[in-house]
A = this chain, B = another copy of it.
Amino acid sequence: MSWYDTSFMARQGVARGKAGKSHKISIEDQGRFHYVYGPYVPPVIRVEPGAVVTVETHDAFEGRIQKETDRPSEILNFPYLNPQTGPIHVEGAEKGDCLAVRILSIRPRGPQPVGTTCLLPEFGGLVGTGQTAVLNAPLPERVKKVRLDENGVYWSDKITLPYEPFIGTIGTSPEIEAISSLQPDYYGGNMDLPDVAPGAIIYLPVNTPGALLYLGDCHAIQGDGELCGVAMEMPATVEIQVDLIKGHTIGWPRLETETHIMTIGSARPLEDAARIAYRELVRWVDAETGMGEEEAYMLLTMAGKARLGNMVDPKYTVGTGIAKAYLKR
């Protein structure tokens, strides 16, 4: 028996966490990609809870940065960035429900070098930006193309980094807003959180009929904070299994692994992202154990874990978690 059988998804989902019908969304099926999370486009597919969907995603640049001599500022066309596959309409999903997405696998896709990173003008964690507006000259642009496969990320002759793939951008549609896929928020989006990886289940609030799940922006590896703003971007084939928890309202995304539960907040300044995540976790721990919010607050002071997702996007993202072993009243 796997831990999945006792996950929130298995215990509370309409499909009881069981795999249902298989689907595929190829690049060709998708056709036109989307650059906002919103309800104003028709779904690319409709599936039942339990569906296993194989999704082809583009890299964050839609494959347009092809060689190290490319100049991103000339190639990229804001706001048409971070193309998303979807939306996937999940039958029966309504505002106030919770969508569960188990991540089964993430594989790189396409010709080598599959990986791309780069320095973009006025974007990144250690440079002035459009918001942290300065008069200093921007850093020079720079592109690095990197060979990678499921065994490693071949950064240089001497440095091989592990292949630790995850989904950089995933979420549901807001109710009436349509928000850039560059932004993370209460519905998910561009969280750039390395924990959204194979082996995890992410729980997302449903804001609109059908939930309208979007995803894209897979990373082969990323450090905490996604420092320069561009991780090891790759086109990918992602396999997910969706389920639906009816009448289970959550304010912000949550995540579950074999050993931990995690809540995810996105905001500026960064402490507000951490506050959001930790407050959600206080409430979740209390709800699971009945220990009371104050006791949960103190317990997390001792045993809380924080992951810095990104410190570069329009909102910054922090995930906070606690080991399931401590979820006792």
Q: Which A residues fall within an 8 A CB radius of B?
A: 35-36, 38, 40, 79-80, 117, 119, 124-128, 130-140, 142, 144, 153, 155-156, 158-159, 161, 174-180, 221-232, 251, 265, 267-272, 274-276, 278-280, 282, 293-294, 297-306, 308, 311, 316, 318, 320, 322, 326, 328-329
Contact = CB atoms under 8 A, between A and B. Distances in A.
A155 B228 CA distance: 40
Q: How many copies does the complex hold?
A: 4
A213 to B, nearest CB: 19
A161 B221 contact: no
A61 to B, nearest CB: 15
Contacts of A320: 224-225
A155 B329 CA distance: 11
Contacts of A306: 223-225, 308
Contact of A128 (B80, B128, B224, B268): B128
Contact of A271 (B142, B179, B269): B269
Contacts of A293: 135
26 contacts: A38-B177, A38-B178, A117-B301, A119-B298, A124-B297, A125-B274, A127-B135, A131-B272, A135-B297, A136-B136, A140-B294, A153-B302, A158-B328, A161-B302, A177-B178, A177-B179, A221-B303, A222-B302, A224-B306, A228-B297, A229-B301, A231-B302, A268-B268, A268-B269, A268-B271, A308-B318
Contacts of A35: 176
B158 A126 contact: no
Contacts of A230: 301
B128 A134 contact: yes
A112 to B, nearest CB: 17
A271 to B, nearest CB: 4
A125 B131 CA distance: 13
Contacts of A36: 176-178
Contacts of A40: 40, 178
Contacts of A231: 301-302
B144 A298 contact: yes
A119 B63 CA distance: 43
